[in-house]
């Protein structure tokens, strides 16, 4: 007799706006919950139900928040750096912190070129 076991998909909380293309890649294997606009206390109340958290720069992942994240395994920062994540606290709770430093590399390069072109035009007008 075979026993069928239903295994729930790991739950990911996303409290900020992130790329829908990126989310589409996750939705087959994970239960993705987009909950924009949560305050720190609201976030703390629900964080214990999630296995992963994806943030940008708005959400502050503090030691207090991580203490309430009993199931949390990963905090992912969609962007460069992890300055809004208490990495030391996450590590002490056994939570992995990752980021995506090359995620906006094209936009940064385009912005640099646009600034350079603006400066060139300005300097041309001065001469």
Q: What is the pLDDT of residue 105?
A: 67
What are the pLDDT digits (tens) for 76-102? 998 888 999 999 999 999 999 999 876
How far does Cα 76 stand from its chain's mean position? 4
All structural domains of the chain with their residue ranges: 11-126
What residues in the chain have per-residue pLDDT under 70? 1-7, 102-106, 108
Q: What is the pLDDT of residue 93?
A: 96
Burial class (CB in 10 A: 0-12, 13-18, 19+), 37: exposed
The CA distance from 43 to 48, in Å, is 9
Q: Do 59 and 35 meet the contact criterion of CB atoms below 8 Å apart?
A: no
Q: What is the pLDDT of residue 7?
A: 63
CATH homologous superfamily for 11-126?
Answer: NAD(P)-binding Rossmann-like Domain (3.40.50.720)
DSSP letter, residue 14: E
Stated pTM of the model: 0.77
């Amino acid at each position: 007799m075979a026993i069928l076991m239903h295994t729930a998909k790991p739950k990911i909380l996303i409290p900020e706006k992130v790329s829908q293309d990126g989310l589409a890649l996750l939705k087959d294997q994970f239960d993705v919950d987009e909950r924009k606009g949560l305050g720190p206390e609201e976030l703390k109340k629900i964080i214990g139900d999630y296995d992963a958290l994806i943030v940008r720069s708005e959400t502050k992942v503090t030691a207090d928040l991580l203490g309430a994240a009993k199931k949390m395994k990963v905090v992912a920062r969609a962007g460069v750096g992890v300055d809004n994540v208490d990495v030391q606290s996450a590590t002490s709770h056994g939570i992995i912190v990752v980021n995506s430093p090359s995620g906006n590399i094209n936009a940064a390069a385009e912005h640099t070129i646009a600034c350079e072109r603006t400066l060139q035009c300005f300097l041309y007008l001065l001469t």
